[in-house]
C-alpha cells in the first residue's frame, strides 16, 4: 500500500480542497436549514461529525463481512442507530437546541455526506484511516456550516452565539437587521457565493463546461 | 448577435427612449430628490459594470441605465445608503453580471434588486406614484411596441386579464397605477420575458393574473410590492412558458405531418 496518500493528507484534503459541501455539493439540505444561527449550526456540525466518524469506524471494522448485495441496508441500519443515540442525547441535555433543529438531526441518516463517505471510503479502508477521513469530511462540513451560520446570524440579527455584536435599531443602536438573512433563500445565495469565491481561488475545482458555445462572430468573440 | 442595425446597445437605447415619457414625468413630479436617487443608483450600478469590464472584459451596456431607472422608481423608500448599495450590488451582480452581462441574464436585475430590498427590509415603506406617472406608462408602452422592443402580445395578454378582472368587479383599482408602471419597467424587458409568440401571451396573462390574485388575497401588500412580486414570479416562469409554447408547436407539427 505504498501508493496510499499519507494520513495527514487524508485528513486535510476534505477541509477545503475536497470539501464535501462546496466541491461535491453534498449535504446541502441541512446546510441551508440549520444555519440561521451559530448555535444550531455548531450542534448540527458536532452531531454529524460524531455520526460520521463512528459509522465510518464501525463499517470499516466489519467491511469484510458485509455481503455486497445488502451493504446499503447494513450501512443505513448502522447510521440510523447512531443517529437515534445522538438525537436522544441532544433531547436529554440540549433540549432547547434540539427543538430548534427539529427533524434535521434525525435526517442525518439520509444525509448524502454520511452514506457517501461510508460507501466510497470506509468500505475499502482500515478503521483508522476511515475514521480520519470521516473526521476530515465532518470538519469540512462544519467549517462551511459555521461560516454561513455566523454570516446569517450576524447580518440577520446582529448577534453571534446570542451575544449582541451589532446593536440593532430596536435596542437603540444603528444596525438594521437584514431579515432576508433569516429566510432560506439567503442560505442559497451565501453558499453559491462561497462556492464562487473558492473556485475563483482554486480554479482546478471548476467543472468542465457541458458544451462549447458556437462562434457568433461578435466582436472579440 | 448583430443583425443590420440591431445590436444589443440599439435595443437598450430604444428601450430607454420608449421609457422617456414615464421617466421624465416621474422626475418632474419627484423633483430634486428623485434626480439624486436616480444618479446614486446609476453610480453604484455603473461602478459594478466597470468592475466587471476590468475583471472579465465584459462590455458595459446602456441597459444599466434601464435597471437604474427601474430601481430608483420602484425600490422602497427611506432606506439608508448602505442598504441601497447592498441591494443594488446584489441585484446587478447576482442577477446580471455573473451571467455575462445584459442579454444573458435569466432574471431582470432591477426586479431582483427591488425584491431583495423589499423582502430584506420589510419595514421600509413602498413608493406611491403621482397619477400622471402611471398615465405616462401608456405612451411608454405604446412607444415600446411601435419601436419593436417590447412584445405587443405580452402587453395585450396582461391587459386582457386585467380587463376581465375589472369587468368581474374584482378590487383591482388601487393596484392599477403600479401595474402599468411595473409592466413598462420590468415585465416587458425583452431579455427576461418569454420570447415565443404563444409564450408572450402566456407571460402577459400570468403577470395580469398574479397581480389580480395578490390584489385580492394579499392583505397588507402595497400596490408596488404586489406588482413587483408578480413581475418576479412571471419572469421566473418565462422559460417554462416558452417551453410550453415550443412543446405545443411540436405537437401540432407532429399531428399535421406525422
* Domain map (residue ranges) of chain A: 13-150
Contact B94 A189 (CB under 8 A): yes
Number of neighbouring beta carbons within 10 Å of residue A69: 7
Q: Which of A179, A218, A220 sits opposite B121 (nearest CB)?
A: A179
Contact A176 B80 (CB under 8 A): yes
Please check the confidence at residue B92 and state whether its pLDDT lies above 60.
yes
Strands A159-160, A163-164: parallel, antiparallel or unpaired by DSSP? antiparallel
Read off the pLDDT of residues A161-197 as tens digits, 9 standing for 90 and up.
Answer: 878 877 877 777 777 777 788 888 888 888 988 998 8
Q: Which residues in chain B have their CB less than 8 angstroms from residue A181's CB?
A: 120
Is B110:B71 a contact under the CB 8 Å cutoff?
yes
Whether this model's ipTM surpasses 0.85 comes out as: no
B258 versus B255: the higher-pLDDT residue is B255
The whole-model pTM stands at 0.82
Is B111:B231 a contact under the CB 8 Å cutoff?
yes
The residue of chain A with its CA nearest to that of B120 is: A180
Contact B57 A220 (CB under 8 A): yes
Q: Which residues in chain B have their CB less than 8 angstroms from residue A180's CB?
A: 116, 119-120
Contact A178 B122 (CB under 8 A): no
CA of A116 to nearest chain B CA: how many angstroms apart? 31
Suggest the residue from B119, B120, B233, B236 to mutate for an interface test with chain A (most A CBs closer than 10 A): B120
How far apart, in whole angstroms, are the C-alpha atoms of residue B197 and residue B249? 11
Provide the grid cell at A47. 452531531
The per-residue pLDDT for A221 is 41
Mean pLDDT of B19-23: 92
How far apart, in whole angstroms, are the C-alpha atoms of residue A185 and residue A200? 23
The per-residue pLDDT for A36 is 86
Chains A & B: contacts with CB separation below 8 Å? 23
The residue of chain B with its CA nearest to that of A185 is: B116
Does any CB of chain A come closer than 8 Å to the CB of residue B93? no
Provide the grid cell at B173. 383599482
Residue extents of the structural domains in chain B: 8-257
Read off the pLDDT of residues B26-61 as tens digits, 9 standing for 90 and up.
Answer: 999 988 888 899 999 999 999 999 999 998 888 888
Read off the pLDDT of residues A3-43 as tens digits, 9 standing for 90 and up.
Answer: 567 888 888 888 888 888 888 888 888 888 888 889 899 99
pLDDT-above-70 percentage for chain B? 99
The per-residue pLDDT for A3 is 56
Number of neighbouring beta carbons within 10 Å of residue B48: 19
pLDDT-above-70 percentage for chain A? 95
pLDDT bin (cut points 50, 70, 90) of residue B155 is very high
Q: Chain A interface residues facing chain B, Cβ-Cβ under 8 Å? A: 176, 178-181, 183, 189, 196, 216-218, 220
Amino acid at each position: 500500500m505504498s501508493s496510499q496518500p499519507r494520513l495527514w493528507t487524508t485528513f486535510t484534503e476534505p477541509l477545503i480542497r475536497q470539501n464535501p459541501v462546496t466541491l461535491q455539493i453534498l449535504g446541502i439540505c441541512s446546510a441551508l436549514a440549520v444555519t440561521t444561527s451559530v448555535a444550531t449550526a455548531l450542534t448540527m456540525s458536532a452531531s454529524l461529525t460524531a455520526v460520521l466518524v463512528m459509522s465510518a469506524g464501525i463499517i470499516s471494522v466489519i467491511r469484510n463481512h458485509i455481503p455486497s448485495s445488502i451493504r446499503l441496508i447494513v450501512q443505513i441500519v448502522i447510521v440510523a442507530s447512531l443517529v437515534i443515540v445522538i438525537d436522544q442525547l441532544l433531547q436529554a441535555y440540549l433540549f432547547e437546541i434540539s427543538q430548534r433543529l427539529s427533524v434535521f438531526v434525525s435526517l442525518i441518516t439520509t444525509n448524502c455526506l454520511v452514506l457517501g463517505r461510508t460507501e466510497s471510503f470506509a468500505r475499502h479502508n482500515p478503521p483508522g484511516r476511515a475514521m480520519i477521513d470521516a473526521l476530515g469530511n465532518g470538519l469540512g462540513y462544519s467549517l462551511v456550516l459555521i461560516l454561513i451560520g455566523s454570516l446569517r446570524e450576524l447580518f440577520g440579527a446582529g448577534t453571534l452565539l446570542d451575544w449582541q455584536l451589532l446593536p440593532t435599531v430596536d435596542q437603540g443602536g444603528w444596525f438594521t437587521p437584514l431579515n432576508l438573512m433569516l429566510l432560506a433563500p439567503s442560505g442559497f445565495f451565501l453558499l453559491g457565493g462561497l462556492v464562487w469565491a473558492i473556485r475563483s481561488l482554486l480554479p482546478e475545482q471548476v467543472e468542465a463546461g457541458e458544451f462549447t458555445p458556437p462562434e457568433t462572430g461578435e466582436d472579440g468573440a | 448577435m448583430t443583425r443590420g442595425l440591431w445590436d444589443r446597445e440599439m435595443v437598450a437605447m430604444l428601450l430607454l427612449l420608449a421609457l422617456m415619457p414615464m421617466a421624465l414625468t416621474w422626475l418632474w413630479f419627484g423633483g430634486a430628490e428623485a434626480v439624486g436617487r436616480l444618479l446614486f443608483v446609476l453610480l453604484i450600478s455603473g461602478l459594478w459594470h466597470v468592475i466587471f469590464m476590468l475583471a472579465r472584459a465584459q462590455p458595459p451596456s446602456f441597459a444599466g441605465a434601464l435597471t437604474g431607472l427601474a430601481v430608483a422608481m420602484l425600490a422602497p423608500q427611506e432606506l439608508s445608503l448602505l442598504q441601497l448599495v447592498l441591494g443594488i450590488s446584489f441585484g446587478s451582480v447576482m442577477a446580471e453580471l455573473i451571467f455575462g452581462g445584459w442579454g444573458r441574464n435569466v432574471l431582470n436585475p432591477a426586479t431582483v434588486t427591488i425584491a431583495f430590498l423589499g423582502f430584506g427590509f420589510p419595514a421600509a415603506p413602498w413608493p406611491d406614484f403621482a397619477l400622471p406617472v402611471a398615465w405616462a406608462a401608456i405612451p411608454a408602452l405604446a412607444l415600446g411596441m411601435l419601436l419593436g422592443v417590447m412584445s405587443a402580445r405580452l402587453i395585450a395578454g396582461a391587459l386582457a386579464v386585467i380587463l376581465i378582472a375589472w369587468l368581474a368587479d374584482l378590487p383591482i383599482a388601487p393596484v392599477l397605477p403600479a401595474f402599468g408602471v411595473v409592466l413598462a419597467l420590468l415585465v416587458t424587458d425583452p431579455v427576461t420575458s418569454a420570447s415565443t409568440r404563444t409564450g408572450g401571451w402566456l407571460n402577459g396573462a400570468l403577470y395580469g393574473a398574479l397581480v389580480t390574485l395578490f390584489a385580492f388575497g394579499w392583505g397588507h401588500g402595497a400596490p408596488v410590492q404586489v406588482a413587483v412580486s408578480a413581475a418576479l414570479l412571471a419572469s421566473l416562469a418565462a422559460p417554462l412558458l416558452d417551453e410550453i409554447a415550443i412543446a405545443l408547436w411540436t405537437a401540432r407539427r407532429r399531428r399535421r405531418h406525422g
